Amino acid sequence: MTVNKKYHAFSLSNYETIPQISRLNPEDKEAIEVVGRVLPFKTNNYVTDELIDWNNIPDDPIFTLNFPRREMLLRKQYNEVLRLINSGSSEEFLKNKINEIRMDLNPNPAGQEYNVPTLGDIKLHGIQHKYRETVLFFPAKGQTCHAYCTFCFRWPQFSGMNNLKFSMREADLFFKYLKTKPKVTDVLFTGGDPLTMTAHALIAYIEPLLEKEFNHIRTIRLGTKSLAYWPYRFLTDKDSGELLTLFEKVIKSGKNLTIQAHFNHPVELSTETVKLAIAKIRSTGVQIRTQSPLLRKINDHPDIWAEMWRKQVDLNCIPYYMFVARDTGSKYFFELPLERCWQIYKKAYSKVSGTCRTVRGPSMSTNAGKVQVLGIAEINEEKHFVMRFLQGRNPDWIGIPFFAKYDPAATWFDQLKPSFGEEKFFFEYDDQGYNSSK
């Protein structure tokens, strides 16, 4: 039996009350105060008590996953914010300056605004529909998380940058939209973390999808990091019973319910609480598929991934995606060359059995689609990246191998050039592509 833990969040205003905080030296604390002004900071008592190894800070992977560190901003940006804080400037002035710095951090990567569909002349700001079969929904009440990842590409969702926020209160428009899209088979609730919502709120979005008019929706997915950040969500939270009953109801209706679980490090799979939570979810018939970006200083070693995938399969989860960290926020801290990403994937993949090899990666979520780096090929004594789309705005692009000039320093797709003297990549000649999901 697990103990009943009461959720307690820590942020900039109360982090000094974290019991282990005396382990931090003054420089680490200054970094929290400075970087935490620009990028959102939040952790909780499960993470601080059960996941972080306080003998290993600041390099502990889970500490790095939640706590702002000095190197997460460029030195120039860091010094500017520090100077502003110390100058006694007004809150208003500080806020404007900080927003300017945020705008320099590419707050909305990969042209997500192109994914926002319309219904008649209404723009549906809480929906993204990029790939034909799958609609993303951002319920307004689920736009927070049980803790914030320092690398998160959705960070403007939590920073009060409302003009950049995707979210929607009205379920009606969402249902109306889905009725007009018979090719959509999957709905993915995302955020933020939709499992920060009450079961009651979630039921209002999910139960209507079980009606006959939504027969085309076969799989409902919940994108969540609750298993890693707050597994009590499925065990002892006040409405955890209600949540599991909802899960059972979806499965009984004949649809799939899948948790797209976000795990970054094997430590997150090691506590009794997370193991119990996974078993509980699986007992309802809900599937769990896992994903994570590759992150320097958190999981940049093949052994970490091999261990993570093995543990996941042991616990009855299906490894699904390995992503390249997005080019946003504190990217300089976390980014790895594409070549290194591919090497980590290849080495980890070759260490595990076929049951773990359901995972696909390393994959970049670009404006055009999810691009997988398949490897590096030598052709006529010249090196090239070999790539393919795992997902594309135009489904016809998927699976076609294509080449980019080898570049050992490249960390993201937009730094790559087509091979063999081509001017553009093959899909860039396709001006139909950007509308194909609609």
Ligand X SMILES: *Cc1c(COP(=O)(O)O)cnc(C)c1O
Give me the residues that bind ligand SF4 (CB under 6 A), please. Answer: 145, 148-149, 152, 154, 191-193, 225, 262
Alpha-carbon dihedral sign for residues 177, 393, 321, 183: positive
Give the x/- contact pattern for ligand X in 324-353, rule: CB under 6 A: ------------------------------
Beta bridge partners of 119: 122
Q: Which residue has the tokens 């700001």?
A: 125
Beta bridge partners of 290: 261, 319
Q: How many CB atoms lie within 10 A of CB 250?
A: 21
Q: Please state, in angstroms and rounded to a whole number, the distance separating the CA atoms of residues 366 and 389.
A: 10
- Tell me which H or E stretch contains 316: none
193 binds, among ligand X, ligand SF4, none (CB under 5 to 8 A by kind): ligand SF4
Q: Which residue has the tokens 């306080």?
A: 54
102/262 with CB nearer ligand SF4: 262
HSE-up (13 A, CA, CB side) for residue 429: 7
102/310 with CB nearer ligand SF4: 102
Contacting range for ligand X; rule: CB under 6 A; set: 57-65, 124-132, 325-333, 394-402: 124-132
Least distance between ligand SF4 and beta carbon 223 (Å): 8
Q: Is there binding between residue 262 and ligand X (CB under 6 A)?
A: no
Which residue of 365, 366, 394, 437 would you call a contact of ligand X, by CB under 6 A? Answer: 365
Least distance between ligand SF4 and beta carbon 159 (Å): 11
Least distance between ligand SF4 and beta carbon 76 (Å): 25
Q: Going by C-beta distance under 8 Å and a sequence separation of 6 or more, which residues neighbour residue 138? A: 126, 127, 128, 166, 167, 168, 190, 191, 192
User: 3-state class of 352 per DSSP?
Assistant: coil
Contact positions with ligand X (CB under 6 A) in 127-186: 128, 130-131, 134, 136
Cβ–Cβ < 8 Å for 190, 138: yes
60 binds, among ligand SF4, ligand X, none (CB under 5 to 8 A by kind): none
Contact positions with ligand X (CB under 6 A) in 101-120: 115
Give the x/- contact pattern for ligand X in 60-99, rule: CB under 6 A: ----------------------------------------
The string of DSSP letters for 237-263 reads STTHHHHHHHHHHHHHTT-EEEEEEE-
Q: Please state, in angstroms and rounded to a whole number, the distance separating the CA atoms of residues 147 and 226.
A: 9
Least distance between ligand SF4 and beta carbon 149 (Å): 3
130 binds, among ligand SF4, ligand X, none (CB under 5 to 8 A by kind): ligand X
* Contact positions vs ligand X (CB under 6 A): 115, 128, 130-131, 134, 136, 188, 365, 370, 391
